[in-house]
Amino acid sequence: MVRSLIVRSACALAVLAALGGCDSDSTAPYDLVIRGGQVVDGTGNPGYVADVAIRGDEIVAVGEEIEGPTRDEWDASGMVVAPGFVDVHTHSRRGIFAVPTADNYIRQGVTTVFEGPDGSSPLPIGVFLARLDSLQPAVNIGTFVGQGSIRSAVMGPVDRTPDAAHMDSMRSLVRQAMEEGAFGLSTGLFYVPGSFSSTEEVIELARIAGEYGGSHTSHMRDETSRILESVEETIRIGEEGGLPTQVTHHKVIGSLNWGVSKETLRWVDEARARGVDVTVDQYPYTASSTSIQAALMPKWAMEGGRNALLERIANPEQRAKIKKETERIILEERGGGDLTRVQIASCGWDPSLAGKTLRDVTERMGLSDSILHGAEAVLWIVEQGGCQGIFHAIGEEDLITIMQHPHSMIASDGGVIRFGQASPHPRSYGSFARVLGHYVREQGVISLEEAVRKMSGFPAQRMGLDDRGQIEAGRKADIIVFDAERVIDRATFEEPHQYAEGFAGVWVNGTLVFDGAEMTGERPGSVLFGPGKR
């Protein structure tokens, strides 16, 4: 990327003028003034031309032609100056320790990420956050505690009702996590073992998180034919648990269900009207991503863990039942009714499969591309060790309907990626740039100001980050500068390892981490702690 802004050092100019030294402890009131950009401040209000002054890690002034000495200036004329984006749903722990600069996020304007979604998180939370603090990542990072991880720690991957002792232990773990800094409770009721939990069980744990000021975010039980029931359950958890609740990565899967988002959002509106604090997030793609096993096999088959699953697959009678249900899922749900709609993202046991489709796998096995043989290929993949997959089965109309809803925000559901490794979902590289380039500039689905609000001010507010998410004096200096006419995602499903374009500068806590051409190597991110931290 060619540098699109000019950085001028006031200190350097002074040296050239006077051939004198430059005191790093000068009396200059500002460390940096970003000059003349269109400030889109994260509130949704119309943008306006202004200067933004930074001292240390804080925005100290916003206004026309800010005067006074400054160590550095950045010419943002013709560019947008916005708050750094806040991604409330990531799987960053998979890669942050390998790539602490989080290049794929920084290069699309994301300055804050949240971990621990879908009911899965590290335990204990305190140890994980201490490791992050020692790492000193480039991004700010916080975490939820996963209900599935807690249930697994207490009961294992079993389908049974917890007794009183189990519930006491799970409550205790939620309490510990909240006091160690978790922002709330995440559930993955689509996944084992969360799928074995009753709504009442989850509500009991949600109440504990709520007592500490935390929130609840849910990968719902079903995003296909039972999506309305699942939205109702997510709302109920917040309503009866006494805490804010979020339908995360909201989407409608399977062509038989497309269009239902109008109903799910109506339920959200009705719940809000009666006082339930329920919101939504989404990623801007018509394909989801999770493991082949989780997406295409029945939950009952996975009870007891991998060894139990393999025993069932080896049993001819059980195998036939699993295969029949997998056929249905491929035909009606995440399989999209076509083996080419299932793509391999990564396979630890055979990296050469990355990027291949389920149809490619059946051909490799010497089988036809029928749904029946697709199910056989799924069982084979799981037997070999399992793979991560990408599933093209989401409707574009639903995606747009959700994006236009006033209480939806953008989140990637991606992770910190090692460039060039495997074939990940492009959302990790392009979610935020795609909203700005494709859905704002090219399609006009929402305005620039609304898009920035959905990616900064709104998610920051949702997470209780009162010091981030807006361009305003007194806020942390998480700031991005981008070209609204050029910003775009480049990552595709075929070639995912491509950074977003159009971002000219990214600052985290007042420190430049991306200069429009390359990462600076700085790692000024902060570990963020939830409201119950003690």
Residue range 318-360, pLDDT digits in tens = 999 999 999 999 999 999 999 999 999 999 999 999 999 999 9
Q: Which residue has the higher pLDDT, 2 or 529?
A: 529
Q: Which H helix or E strand runs over 504?
A: strand 503-508
Contact 334, 296 (CB under 8 A): yes
Q: How far apart are CA 192 and CA 357, in angstroms?
A: 25
What does pTM read for this prediction? 0.94
| Strands laid side by side in the 278-282 sheet | 145-146, 184-188, 215-219, 245-247, 278-282, 408-410
**Encoded amino acid at 105, one letter:** Y
Q: How far apart are CA 428 and CA 533, in angstroms?
A: 29
Location of structure tokens 């990327």: 1
pLDDT digits (tens, 9 = 90+) for 365-413: 999 999 999 999 999 999 999 999 999 999 999 999 999 999 999 999 9
Which residues of 169-229 form beta strands (DSSP E)? 184-188, 215-219
Residue 28: its pLDDT value, please? 76
Q: Give pairs for 351-360: CB < 8 Å, separation 24+.
A: 351/422, 353/387, 354/422, 354/423, 355/423, 355/494, 358/330
**Encoded amino acid at 525, one letter:** G
Residue 253: its pLDDT value, please? 97
pLDDT digits (tens, 9 = 90+) for 40-75: 999 999 999 999 999 999 999 999 999 989 999 999
| Mean pLDDT, the chain, whole residue set | 94
pLDDT digits (tens, 9 = 90+) for 139-177: 999 999 999 999 999 999 999 999 999 999 999 999 999
Contact 62, 472 (CB under 8 A): yes
Cis peptide before 124 (omega within 30 of 0): yes
- By CB neighbour count within 10 A (0-12 exposed, 13-18 middle, 19+ buried), where does 257 fall? buried
Residue 531, number of CB atoms within 10 A of its CB: 16
Average pLDDT over residues 244-272: 97
Q: Which H helix or E strand runs over 458?
A: helix 457-462
Residue 12: its pLDDT value, please? 38
pLDDT digits (tens, 9 = 90+) for 71-114: 999 999 999 999 999 999 999 998 999 999 999 999 999 999 99
pLDDT at 439 exceeding the cut of 90? yes
- 16 token code pair: 């050239």
Q: pLDDT band for position 27 (50/70/90)?
A: low
Nearest to 51 by CA among 16, 29, 25, 75: 75
C-alpha angle 419/129/170, rounded to 5°? 115
Q: How far apart are CA 455 and CA 437, in angstroms?
A: 14
3-state secondary structure 362-417: HHHCCCCCCHHHHHHHHHHHHHHCCCEEEECCECHHHHHHHHHCCCEEECCCCCCC
Q: Where are the domains of the chain?
A: 85-286+395-460, 290-391
Q: How far apart are CA 419 and CA 430, in angstroms?
A: 13
3-class DSSP assignment, residue 527: strand
pLDDT at 131 exceeding the cut of 90? yes
Q: Which residue has the higher pLDDT, 11 or 78?
A: 78
Q: How far apart are CA 257 and CA 312, in angstroms?
A: 31
Q: Under CATH, what is the fold of the domain 85-286+395-460?
A: TIM Barrel (3.20.20)
